Structure 1
Amino acid sequence: MMGQLNFPALWPFWPELLAGLWVTVQLTVLATVGGVGLGILGAALRSGRPTLLSRLWGGYVELIRNTPFVVQLFFIVFGLPNLGLKMTAGEAALLAMLINLGAYSTEIIRAGIQVTPQGQWEAGRVLGLSRSQTFLRVVLPPALQRIYPALVSQCIIVMLGSSVVSQVSYEELTFAASLIQSRTFLSFEVYLVTTLIYLALSVAMRLLLLAAGRKWLRGAQR
């Protein structure tokens, strides 16, 4: 069986794979930055006094966390146009990833904030800081340090979930792999190579985010 494998036949298709990989990387970077930003905003809202906005945000979190990502994507691509909101496949893919990561990161970051000693909030008030300044300068950095590994893992999960956007014909890595497979019929070779690319991307992303997080969080606590 091993003698029948034909990995060299994939060599002419490396430009397509690399182009798909680049699209996946771009999606991941934008979704990570935007999704974590949404998570910080949501955690701030849900950690304060209950308001209508915090309850609405809680409903959004529960909706996203209890529905499949592919359904969320299809709703954005096929459902929103019925409301007059049309967008490209790339815009829909990015929006779906942002919304998904925003919901999960809200709860991850909120968990870190909830274990923050009340004394840190009081210390901020004593120093004359507003509630928002206390949150950003005093409470958020140690909270992020506590939950940072979990947040990194969630970002990687969203990156891996980006493979689903190939279902709406967005030309990321999985779409490129499927296209190559349809041309070569080398299913084992194509998807093994694609698996290894995703594995390498996951490992690189984890190492990069953990290293950047250690540097940033160390500086934030000074």
Structure 2
Amino acid sequence: MNYTFEFAQVFAAWDELAYGALRTLWLSAASMAIGLVVAVLGALAKNNGPRALRIAIDAYIELIRNTPFLVQIFIVFFGLPAIGIRLEADQAALLAMVINVGAYGIEIIRAGIESIHHGQIEAGRALGLKPLQIFRLVVLKPAIQAIYPSLTSQFILLMLNSSVCSAIAAAELTAAANDIQARNFRSFEVYFVVTGIYFAMSLLFWGIFAVIERAFLRQPAVR
């Protein structure tokens, strides 16, 4: 083996990697936040909406969960212009990620909602709470507590899947790595460093999710 490892050429482009990592963090955080709203509204509509809406949501979920994320991005970026909707690469990446995580999130949150005992809802009604208050205070928070590990794991997968967005030249970490590799041909060094950056970003998100859980979702100790 005569290959000589030269990481210096990779670290010389640290500013591009840093920018790509920041763009990945922004893209992931934005799609997580918007996707969570889509998931909550979709789960609520699937449980309580009219039959036609429930069928449409089921079709959306099955379509997204049974097709590759890369194909979904291509449809958003290359397909939508055919009907007059043109998006920049970053906009298309964000929309595709929201659509993707929303489908998975609906099923996760729906499972959490269904885990809430009906007696708790009846108790909320007996206390005079309005339907929205019952959903927000009695149903939603306990449901999210129950499915929080699954939901956060899905968010981490979303962040890792953002690397696919480089296929449409969206500004993110893998796209930056591809540009660097095209200049110096140091494939191993570039993608080895990028692997470490993705791992660090995953740990960052896990840490943020742990803080959120301790601050807002952890049950108070019983004395």
Normalising by structure 2, report the TM-score. 0.94
CA RMSD of aligned residues (A): 1.8
Q: What's the counterpart of residue 101 of structure 2?
A: 101
Task: Give 1:3 shift.
Answer: 7.4
> What is the identity, as a one-letter code, of the residue corresponding to 2:188?
F
Q: What's the counterpart of residue 129 of structure 1?
A: 129
Q: What's the counterpart of residue 213 of structure 2?
A: 213
CA distance in 1, matches of 2:160, 2:65: 16
CA distance in 2, matches of 1:106, 1:90: 24
Per-residue CA deviations over 1:24-54 (Å, capped at 9, x if unaligned) read: 0110110010001111111111122653222
Contact map agreement 1:152 1:210 (CA 8 A) in 2: no
Taking the TM superposition and a 5 Å limit, the aligned residue runs for 1:20-169 are 20-48=20-48, 50-169=50-169
Task: Give 1:218 shift.
Answer: 3.9
In the TM superposition, structure 1's runs of 4+ consecutive aligned residues that sit over 6 Å from their partners are none
Contact map agreement 2:97 2:162 (CA 8 A) in 1: yes
Task: Give 1:219 shift.
Answer: 8.2
The more displaced of 130-139 and 86-95 is 130-139
Contact map agreement 1:112 1:144 (CA 8 A) in 2: yes
Contact map agreement 2:21 2:173 (CA 8 A) in 1: yes
Contact map agreement 2:24 2:173 (CA 8 A) in 1: yes
CA distance in 1, matches of 2:41, 2:172: 29
Q: Secondary structure at the match of 2:101?
A: helix
Point out where structure 2 has 5 or more consecutive residues left out of the alignment. none
Q: What's the counterpart of residue 18 of structure 2?
A: 18
Contact map agreement 1:65 1:104 (CA 8 A) in 2: yes
Contact map agreement 1:125 1:134 (CA 8 A) in 2: yes
Pair 1:33–1:204, CA change in 2 (3 A)? same
Q: Secondary structure at the match of 1:4?
A: coil
Q: How many residues align?
A: 221
Contact map agreement 2:163 2:173 (CA 8 A) in 1: yes
Instruction: State the percentage of identical aligned residues.
Output: 47
Q: What's the counterpart of residue 179 of structure 1?
A: 179
CA distance in 2, matches of 1:2, 1:214: 51
